[in-house]
Amino acid sequence: MAAIINVCVDPRLNHEVIRAQVRARLERLRLPAQLVYITSDVGGNLGVSFRSTAELVLKNQDRVEFAAVFHHDDCVAFRATSAARAPGTFPPPS
């Protein structure tokens, strides 16, 4: 059972800390994930790495139990370019 978490490329984000936090949270939800994949793209947008990772998990006959996209405030990517977060990509407009 795998989890895929997509985050921003912001260098302040520590992937190992995020991985441990996600694993702990999923265990509390009784969704223990053996593999927690962290993917990243500018602004936390879904990109090639997320899609490729999902394909890899499925090719390995594993199941994606949990997927999440984290956006954050005070984003380095946002400050660098106004186009950092592609509008309407995630979450979909309500």
Residues that bind Zn ion (CB under 5 A): 8, 10, 75, 77
Q: Is 86 helix (H, G, I), strand (E, B) or coil?
A: coil
Nearest approach in angstroms of CB 31 to Zn ion is: 26
For Zn ion, the closer of residues 36 and 75 by Cβ is 75
Residues 6+ apart with CB under 8 A from 3: 22, 23, 26, 31, 33, 35, 36, 37, 64, 65, 66, 67, 68
- In this structure, which amino acid lies at residue 55? E
Nearest approach in angstroms of CB 47 to Zn ion is: 13
For Zn ion, the closer of residues 10 and 62 by Cβ is 10
For Zn ion, the closer of residues 2 and 22 by Cβ is 22
